[in-house]
Amino acid sequence: MAIKSVSIRIEEEMLEKLGFIADYEGRSVNSHILVLIRENIKSYEQEHGEIDGSLNPADNVKPTRKK
């Protein structure tokens, strides 16, 4: 599996807090973000079923904000 790089925009305060938590957990910020992503995918798949990797881009549309 290829490793890809992703750039995100994040508020400075949020990044500092994330860094604090990552340090507390003994991880780098990057490693901590990967842990959070894996947990999110696992949670999603437990609720909705396994993601098979063949998503149709038309089905992968950002949902509207909940009111």
**pLDDT, tens digit, 9 for 90 and up, residues 6-59:** 999 999 999 999 999 999 999 999 999 999 999 999 999 999 889 887 766 566
Tell the residue number behind the tokens 């973000």, with chain if given: 33
Written as six digits, the tokens of 47 are: 């609720």
Q: Are 15 and 29 in contact (CB under 8 A)?
A: yes
Query: Residue 40's pLDDT is what?
Result: 94
* pLDDT at residue 3, rounded to an integer: 86
Q: CA–CA separation, 23 vs 29, rounded Å?
A: 8
Quickly count: other Cβ atoms within 10 Å of residue 8's Cβ: 6
The phi and psi torsions of 47 (rounded to 5 degrees) equal: -85, -35
Radius of gyration of the chain (CA): 15
